[in-house]
Amino acid sequence: MTDHALLLVNLGSPASTQVADVRRYLNQFLMDPYVVDLPWPLRRLLVSLILVRRPAQSAHAYASIWWEQGSPLIVLSRRLQAAMQAHWTQGPVELAMRYGEPSLDSVLSRLAAQGIERVTLAPLYPQFADSTTTTVIEEARRVVRTRKLPIRFSILQPFFDQPEYLDALADSARPYLQQGFDHLLLSFHGLPERHIRKLVKGIDPQHDLRSASSEGVSDEVLAVCYRSQCLRTAEAFAARMGLRPGQWSVSFQSRLGKDKWIEPYTETRLDELGRQGVKKLLVMCPAFVADCIETLEEIGDRGLEQFQAAGGERLELVPCLNDHPSWVEALNQLCARAPQQI
């Protein structure tokens, strides 16, 4: 074993379903300026208002999907970590969460204490956003800088259009699609429009955030436009699976607050599809690589109820990649060629 570690990083989870733990987690998450991009005083005021009622509501939601072993996201991420260790032969494979535990601070400090000087940092987000990819990278750099750790990073880049990822996505979903369905909804995590606007304004101020296709989007815009990357993932997946136009669609879930978020909204599509006579609906969530509250509770429970209330009969949630063997192999290949950051 050598001194080149692989560090997998996902979003995180409360330590338990207790309201106090959920409040602590939500405070850390929402106070991240990459998540709520307001000046500190306004962010503190907004988050404080959110934390009046949201922790109890979220605690109830977490309790409905919590496993005996703990948070599904943490359990599944640990399984991926264990599976990756058999493939990553250059050193140890570690797991950290951007919010909650295990923290980036604790894991990077432990690696440095073990004499590790090179780390491939792998934010487990296929599509790029400041609120996911950037905040992981910046927090890792902050830890190294403030702790004066002798660590150099290679960083896994967004892999929304990489063949290995798309092939793994197809392999994991194929058994569910082969069982037959009326429609496939690819539901990605949502994002406030302004998060994208501020990134593309210097490249293409007129970039269309209503387009139904990623066709014609320049490489420069595609590199920073989360919505276009989601569309590109969906289009490439549909092509791999031989899906016909009209047999699938894209939506965006998990809105928070009153800001304008990217469309179409998942809750709107669930109503539309139910009213249009779709009886068996498959839903995939390709912005997530591990099942979590947004997939298991938001789609698997609340989404099912909404779809059935609109006239649908059966909603089947296609599991995320989790620790699927094809994904383990794909992730190893993607991380192995991650560029070193100077």
Query: Structure tokens of 5?
Result: 């570690």
Q: Comparing C-alpha atoms, which of 100, 112, 119, 121 is closest to residue 146?
A: 112
- For tokens 């400041």, name the residue: 130
263 a known binding residue? no
* Strand bridging mode 183-189 / 280-284: parallel
* Residues with Cβ within 8 Å of residue 19, at least 6 apart in sequence: 55, 56, 59
Strands (E), the chain: 4-12, 93-99, 118-123, 152-155, 183-189, 248-253, 280-284, 314-317
- For tokens 């031989």, name the residue: 242
The radius of gyration of the chain's CA atoms, rounded to the nearest angstrom, is: 20
Whole-angstrom distance, CA of residue 280 vs CA of residue 184: 9
294 a known binding residue? yes
How would you class 150 by CB atoms within 10 Å of its CB: exposed for 0-12, middle for 13-18, buried for 19 or more?
Answer: exposed
- For tokens 């894209």, name the residue: 250
Binding residue positions for Fe(2+): 189, 294
Binding residues: 189, 294
